[in-house]
Structure formats: structure tokens, C-alpha cells
Amino acid sequence: MSFLLLLSLLSLCCGSFSLEFGKNSSSRPSVVNIGAIFSFDSTIGKVAKIAIEEAVKDVNADPGILPGTKLWLQMQNSNCSGFLGMVEVLQLMENKTVAIIGPQSSVVAHISSQVATEFQVPLVSFSATDPTLSALQFPFFVRAAQSDLFQMAAVAEIVDYYGWKEVIAIYVDDDYGWNGIATLGDKLAEKRCKITYKVGISPESVVTRAQVLDQLVKVALMESRVMVLHVNPKIGAVVFSVAKFLQMMGNGYVWITTDWLSSLLDSVVPLPLETVESMQGVLSLRQHTADSDQKKVFLSRWNKFTGGSLGLSAYGLYAYDSVWVVAHAIHKFLNQGGIITHYDDSRLHLNESGNLHLEAMTIFDGGKRLLDNILESDFVGLSGAIKFDSDRSLPHPAYDIINVIGTGSRRVGYWSNYSGLSVDSPETLYSKPPNRSSANQKLYEVIWPGNTIGKPRGWVFPNNGKLLNIGVPLRVSYKEFVSRIKRTENFQGFCIDVFTAAVSLLPYAVPHRFIAFGDGHHNPNYTDLVYGITTGKFDAVVGDMAIVTSRTRLVDFTLPYTASGLVVVAPFQKLNTGAWAFLHPFSPAMWMVTASFFLFIGIVIWILEHRTNDEFRGPPKKQCITILWFSFSTLFFAHKENTISTLGRLVLIIWFFVVLIINSSYTASLTSILTVQQLYSPITGIETLTKGGEPIGFQVGSFAERYLSEELNISKSRLFALGSPEEYAKALELGPDKGGVAAIVDERPYVESFLSRQCTFRVVGQEFTKSGWGFAFPRDSPLAVDLSTAILQLSENGDLQRIHDKWLMKSACSMDSAELESDRLQLKSFWGLFLICGIVCFISLAIYCFQIIRQLYRSDEKGSDLSINSGSHSNRLRRIISLMDEKKEPSKRESKRRKVEKSFENDRDDDQLEINP
């Protein structure tokens, strides 16, 4: 009996410690040791403990997986401490553990992953979301939940969706907090948003209200009102309690939390009323898990064995699935013929014994193969599809967006890495093409802190006692725009009044002070003034600041409060009408072409009418007089010669139309010359200046210099800087021949002010740039947006025009009091008419010549000397000339028509005699 009892005990020992001593490859081990590391007392840990235990029970009860083998679970409490986590992992290594579920904390995961890599034991974490836990640095770390890389992308898209540009990040001061907020900063930068202030809270186990109060008091003084809270549930509850005490949970504030809040709401049932009331209006993320029958069955079981005292969060589902990931991998490992063996690490054997028993720790021989099996997992768990991509991430990362209302929460939408923000569940979107257009990004209405549904502006002017430093140009000319009040630090002028009026319309106070920029002897360079914003010297710039491309690359401008643009100012002279005023309507070329056409038309009509019309026949002297008389008499439609030929009448009709247009244009232009004051300048606009070589003046500090030299390629040697209206007038009066300038290029508001006092100069040509004046602020400044709205309001209610009239009223001598001479009527305005008339003339002459040549050939065919004269060109030419000169007898029809016309003329003459004997 003693022998049989000893044999039974040996068999039992061999079965219990098969992982250590079993070397038989033909049989499966009866027990496989796995470990779990998490914080038992944390919100996530309480849920994970039950989920992991239930998962182990379900695996051991399932005959389809690990037949003949049971999972033996050993759980260790890390208390979210990196040091304790490392110790607990080392203890698990002493028990020949093949895989570890956890760690729960990202801080513990960083240290534990180093140990796991040394012993080649896979870590399958269900809640370590730190995005820096990469496979390259920690090859044996596998994340069975969503990384914070996607969570921070969701937060950034929410911020961008509501149009906020700046946020304040409040985080727990450890690896989890640092790396999460760093990722958030990168994602916000992709949306052209940024974190303006970061608040780190100590990760100590006991966080006092005093510590949090000190930090939130600083936050309350900041400009941004959008808070992103990335902490653990214990710290988060204290933060909201203190925030409510500081009235930071009221109207105008925005609080966005990561998924720690949703796990708290889902797990702690019921949540203390005081805690819920301090979180009203908060937006939070929850890791999205697809609904399924399997999930519903487990939830029903959960409620039974917890009695409703503990809720099931998404991390509980991931913890449950993590056990099954390990179980499937071990099952596959054993089916592949793998043997669970360990070997000693010679580096752990010490010469002297100690308390740590490092020599008991061994390396898992099949750890690499088991890790590969884990990464090849492909099944559907409670949380959805379990499958790892090349980055070891679960497929289709998605989050629910919830809004804390009353005693619970309401889902206002979803975020998925597939299609962004949506009110439809991610599962319904996977069957459609991805659509991230702004029109497709939607969320339901949110109830914000303060129980409001209107979207908060997201920022206020900081109430920290700091004044806004506003740079103002210290001008020495055109002081009606900006000028310093004598013996004070205050400024006045058109631009200052517009800014003051706009600020008064804002719903908040903007304490500020003006800081002069310039030496007081010359107008400052406005580009340098704008650059002061980028260096932090100024918080804004107010003044006559033109909005140009080079400056918009540095700062943001408000909407223009006045129109501007470059114009050319030049001297002019008045044109007196005089004795020769009647020659002014046409240019010399027009006069020459018109006179030539009169002669040309007379010659063409003579040629077409000479053979058939007696009025165009006779001695040469008479013919010349007839041509001249007929030509110029058509100007007044007073010609007495009648045209008989069809071609002649066609030419004359076209010519009469041309003469009608010329007469009308001449009359209108001459009337304008004699009745309207005419001004003349040799410079007609910027085109004249760019083509010529005359010197050009510009205002000191203006962007006109850069524009003329860089955009229009005008040599800088031609550009002269002028500092005041008096210098303008003097330079223009001297002119380029006496050391002055031919013209001045400046912005329209300055020119209007200059011409209101100087009546001997005028604007020539058109405004060749379009811009305006605005106030400058740092990039993405929300104050620029609010002031733009205020400027629009000033424009709509008429205040902007009243301010303009107060400072910039035009005098009688304004730039529009007279008009520069309009261009003379040029040939280019009439060349179409002359072209048509010329074409008709040439066509008529061609037809006439064709008729003459055809008649010549017919007469030659009838003559007997055709063969003799056909070869003589001179004879043929004389024959053509004689045919053109000889009288053509009219046909019988023409003779009859002429007799009828003559009879009518005689009858008309007789009637006239009877009336007037």
C-alpha cells in the first residue's frame, strides 16, 4: 500500500508540474500557466478581474479548444506602479508562465515589456493604450485594445469639426499622459490647431484638491476655453470637482475627455450624484465595440454574477478577448507540435545567493512561435473582430462620442478611422466607400456645460491682468490716419477710431495699450512692424496697414475696414480750345486716312461711271475738278452728280454710311472739347511709367517700393522715397528734368488726402492693385475673427462711414473734380469701317476690270488682225485704255429709263414754273 501511495503522489506531482518536467512531445501538457497583471482596485481592474476569470472558465469548459489541457491563471496586483509591475512579472517568470494578460497601465507596460522580451514571454494588454509602445522597441508586446494614436485623432477631428483652433491639455504626468498629449499635439497640427497650454498633474495615488486647484487657477486665466482631459478616473473626478468649484463648468467652457470617463460611467453603477453633477455637458470617447448576440449573452451573464453592482466597460470586453487570444495561440502552438519548455539564462546565475532567486527564472523556448500565433489570430470575440494588422493594431479603430447629461450619458455620434465623424454606426459605413468630406462629417446636437446647446466660442480674452501690446506706426505725415496725441502715450486718427469702435462691439473686454513704432522723424517700415508680431514684441498691429501677400504669410488680418490700392498721381495742364480747336477731335493719322479715303472714293466712282455717265466725262481738267468736287461734297451729302452704274451706287452707299459715322463722332467730340474743361498729362497710367525711364516717387515705408521693383521690374534707381505731402508736391512740380519725379505711386487713401489739398495734380489711369487696410494679429488668433465680425457690423450700421467722414472729408479740390483729357478719336476706332469700304471698292473695281477685259477679247475675235496684235502688249494696253475712255452707248432699256426720268424732270420743272412764274 505504501508503494502504491508513493506512486500516486509521484504521478500527481508530474501532472501538476508538467510544464517544467514534461519532455514528451507526443502528449499535451495537462496544465499551461498564464499570468495577469493589473491593478485590482482600479476602475478598469475591477472589471478586468472578473472578465479574465470568466474567460479562463469558458476556455477550460470549451472542449473545442485546448482539449486535455487546462489554463492555470495567476493574477498579480501591480497597483499601477512600474516598479511593482516589474517585480510581479519576475515572479510570474519563476512559475514558467508562457503568456501574460496585461499589464493594465501603460507605465507598467513600458517596464514589463523589457522583462518579457528578455524571457520571450508575450504580453497581451487589454488597456495599455500608450501609442509609443511600438513593436520595434517592444517585440513581445501585443495590444488587444485601440491605441491612443486613434483616440487622439478622434479628439483632433472633434476640435476641428467645431472650428476651435486652440486647446488646453490637462494630463497625468507619466508615460501614459506625456505620450498621449504629444500624439494629440501632432494630430491637432494636421488640422492647423494647437495646444496652447499644458497642465501635468502628479500621478501619485492620493491627489489632493489643493494640487489640482493650483493648476486649474492658472488654466482659468488662459484664453482658450477648450479643455482636453487625459488622466485616470481617480484624478479626473477630482479635476471636475475643482473645476465646478472654480465655475469652470459653466457657459462658454468645453471639456473633452479621453475614454477614461466612459469606462468610469460604464463600470461604477451608480456613480455618486455629486460626481455626475460636476461633469454635466462633458464630451467623452468610448472604445467602440460592435453589437452582437455573443456580446448580449455575456452581458446577461455579467449582470447575474455581479448583481448589477459593477458595469461592463469596453476594457472588460477586451480583457475577456485577450484570454481567448492567448488560448487560441497556445492551441495552435500545441497542434504544431510545439513543446512547452524553458531553459536557464546563464546571466541570471549569481556567485552569491540572494533573496531574489533569479536562478529560478527561465526563458520560454517557444515564446517566438507563440507570439507569431497570437499575431495571426483571426476570430470574432465579444469586442468584435480580433485580427492584427502589420502595425499590430486591431481592425477598424472606432470610438463612440458620448455627452454626459443628467445621471447618465447620450451618444451624439461616432468616430472611425474609416470615415471620420458620423451619426451612423461604423459597421454601416464599412460597406460604402470612405468619405471624409466636410459635408459628410456630422454629429448630433450637444448639450454643453452651462446647459446650453449653442456651440461655445471656445476662447475668451484672458483675464490675467496682462494688457494686449498693440503696435502703432508713429507717422510723420498723413496724421489724420494715425497720430500720437501730444505729451501722452495715446493715439488718435481714423484707424484708431475704427479699432476702438470695433472693440466696443465685442462681448468681452479687451484691455490693451498702444506702443509706438518708429523714430518720429521718418515713417516706419510697415513690414518690420508686422514682423514684430512674429517675434512676440507685439500682440497685434493697428494702423493704416495694407493687406498684401507677403504680410499674410506672417500674420492674420481682419477683414478690410477701408478699400485701398496703388494709383498713379501726375501733374496735368489745362488745354485751351483756341483757334485750332476744330482739329482736336481726330488724331493726325485719322485726318490723313480720312482725307485719303475721300480722294480714293472719288477716283473709284469716276472709274466706274466714266464710260456710261456724261457727268463724269469731258476734258481732263474738268474730270479732275469733278473728282475733287464729288469726293468732298459727299461729306455733306451735297454732290450734284448722279451715279448710273450698279457698282458705283454700291460703293457710294457704303461710303455714305462711313461718312455718317465720321460726321457723328466728330461732332460729339468737338462739342465735348468746346464745352468741357480738358486736362492733359503725358502720363496715362502705370503702363506709361513701366515703359519709360522717368523717376517715380513713393511713400517711405509703403509696400509700393517692393511692388514696383519686384512685381513690375522697375529699376530701383528710378524709385525715390518721399516722406510727406509737401515733398510730393515739390517733386512733382520740379519734374524729372529738374531733379523731381514724373509721377508718384501710392495707396488711394493717401492720394485722396493729398489731392484734397493739391489741385494741380490728378490721378491718371486706373487703380492697378486691389487691397485694403486691416488690423494684424498672430496666426490663428480668434480675436481677428471676432474683430472682423465687428467691422462688418460697423459697416452695416453706418458707423464706419461716419468715422471716415470725420477724419477724411474731401474738400472742393478733390481727385474727381475734373477729368483728364479723354483720348482723341484714333484710327483704331474706325479701321473696321474703312476696311469694309475699301473691300467694296476693290471688289467693284475688280468686276469693272473683268468686264473691260471680256469686252476686249470679244472685239478682238471679231477683228481680222487678231493674230497680228495679240502679241503686242503696248497695243493691247492702248486698246484697254481706249475702251475705258470711249463712250458706252446705253442699252434700249437704259435709254427708255433715261427718257422717262428726263420726262419726269421736265414735268417737275414746268410745275415749278407755274407755281413761281
* Residue 531 grid coordinates: 514682423
Burial, 9: exposed, middle or buried (Cβ in 10 Å; 0-12, 13-18, 19+)?
A: exposed
Per DSSP, helices labelled H in 676-781 are 686-691, 704-706, 725-734, 748-755
Give the residue from 55, 686, 96, 148 showing the smallest Cα distance to 365.
96
Across 359-385, b (16+ Cβ under 10 Å) vs e yields: eebbbbbbbebbbebbbebeeebbbbe
CA–CA separation, 616 and 611 (whole Å): 8
pLDDT higher at 469 or 901: 469
Over the stretch 186-233, which tens digit does the pLDDT of each residue have?
Answer: 999 999 899 999 999 988 766 788 999 999 999 998 889 999 999 999
CA–CA separation, 735 and 571 (whole Å): 9
CA–CA separation, 429 and 757 (whole Å): 69
786: amino acid identity, one letter: D
- Confidence band of 9 (pLDDT split at 50, 70, 90): very low
| pLDDT above 50 for 760 | yes
Q: Tell me whether the CATH fold assigned to 467-562+772-804 matches the one assigned to 565-575+677-770.
A: yes
pLDDT for the residue numbered 866: 45
The CA R_g of the chain, rounded to the nearest whole Å, is: 49
Per DSSP, helices labelled H in 863-891 are 866-869, 873-885
| pLDDT above 50 for 162 | yes
Contact of 754 with 742, CB cutoff 8 Å = no
Across 565-587, b (16+ Cβ under 10 Å) vs e yields: bbbbbbbbeeeeeeeeeeebbbb
* Peptide bond just before 507 cis, omega within 30 deg: no
Q: How many CB atoms lie within 10 A of CB 110?
A: 24
- Confidence band of 265 (pLDDT split at 50, 70, 90): very high
pLDDT for the residue numbered 810: 60
DSSP letter string, 117-147: HHHT--EEESS---TT--TTT-TTEEESS--
| pLDDT above 90 for 102 | no
55: amino acid identity, one letter: A
| Helix %, strand %, coil % of the chain (to 5) | 45, 15, 35
CA–CA separation, 786 and 145 (whole Å): 42
Over the stretch 589-625, which tens digit does the pLDDT of each residue have?
Answer: 888 888 888 788 878 877 777 666 666 666 777 778 7
Helix-helix angle 43-61:314-335, to 10 degrees: 40
Q: For strand 378-381 and strand 483-484, is the pairing parallel, antiparallel, or unpaired?
A: unpaired
pLDDT for the residue numbered 555: 94
CA–CA separation, 150 and 437 (whole Å): 19
- Assigned CATH for 467-562+772-804: 3.40.190.10
CA–CA separation, 841 and 654 (whole Å): 9
Q: For strand 556-557 and strand 776-777, is the pairing parallel, antiparallel, or unpaired?
A: antiparallel
- Assigned CATH for 31-144+312-348+356-386: 3.40.50.2300
Summary mean pLDDT of the chain: 83
Local structure of residue 890 (DSSP, 8 states): P
Contact of 184 with 153, CB cutoff 8 Å = no
The CATH number of 565-575+677-770, from 3.40.190.10, 3.30.420.10, 3.40.30.10, 2.60.40.10, is 3.40.190.10
Contact of 879 with 685, CB cutoff 8 Å = no
* Residue 464 grid coordinates: 490675467
pLDDT higher at 808 or 618: 808
Q: Which residues contact 815 (CB under 8 A, 6 or more apart)?
A: 751, 752, 755, 756, 762, 763
Contact of 1 with 41, CB cutoff 8 Å = no
Return the CATH architecture of domain 148-287+396-440.
3-Layer(aba) Sandwich (3.40)
| pLDDT above 90 for 343 | no
Give the residue from 304, 751, 815 showing the smallest Cα distance to 544.
751
Provide, rounded to the nearest whole percent, the portion of the chain with pLDDT above 90.
46
CA–CA separation, 856 and 878 (whole Å): 11
pLDDT for the residue numbered 270: 86
Over the stretch 649-681, which tens digit does the pLDDT of each residue have?
Answer: 788 788 788 888 888 887 887 777 666 555 667
Helix-helix angle 106-119:175-190, to 10 degrees: 110
- Flag the least confident range among 12-26, 332-346, 475-489: 12-26
Ranked by mean pLDDT, the top range of 395-404, 499-508, 778-787, 809-818 is 395-404
Element (H, E) at 63: none
List residues bridging with 275 in a β-sheet: none
- Cα angle 211, 216, 221 (rounded to 5 degrees) comes to 140
Element (H, E) at 292: none
| pLDDT above 60 for 522 | yes
286: three-class secondary structure by DSSP: strand
Give the residue from 745, 737, 738, 753 showing the smallest Cα distance to 721.
745
The residues spanned by each domain of the chain are 31-144+312-348+356-386, 148-287+396-440, 467-562+772-804, 565-575+677-770, 581-675
Over the stretch 841-880, which tens digit does the pLDDT of each residue have?
Answer: 788 778 878 777 777 776 666 554 444 444 456 666 666 6
**pTM tops 0.85, yes or no:** no
Local structure of residue 452 (DSSP, 8 states): B
Local structure of residue 710 (DSSP, 8 states): I
Q: Which residue shows C-alpha cell 495537462?
A: 30
pLDDT for the residue numbered 815: 45
Over the stretch 172-187, which tens digit does the pLDDT of each residue have?
Answer: 999 999 999 999 999 9
Over the stretch 396-436, which tens digit does the pLDDT of each residue have?
Answer: 999 999 999 998 899 999 999 999 999 999 999 998 898 88
Across 535-562, b (16+ Cβ under 10 Å) vs e yields: eeebbbbbbbbbbbeebeeebbbbbbbb
Give the residue from 668, 674, 672 showing the smallest Cα distance to 576.
674
Contact of 755 with 762, CB cutoff 8 Å = yes
| Mean pLDDT value of segment 321-350 | 84
Q: What φ, ψ does residue 513 adopt, rounded to 5°? A: -145, 145
| pLDDT above 60 for 6 | no
List residues bridging with 37 in a β-sheet: 76
* Residue 709 grid coordinates: 521693383
848: amino acid identity, one letter: Y
DSSP letter string, 800-832: HHHHHHHHH---SS-TTSS-BPPPPBPGGGTHH
pLDDT for the residue numbered 575: 58
- Flag the least confident range among 15-19, 164-168, 359-363: 15-19
CA–CA separation, 8 and 462 (whole Å): 80
- Confidence band of 22 (pLDDT split at 50, 70, 90): very low
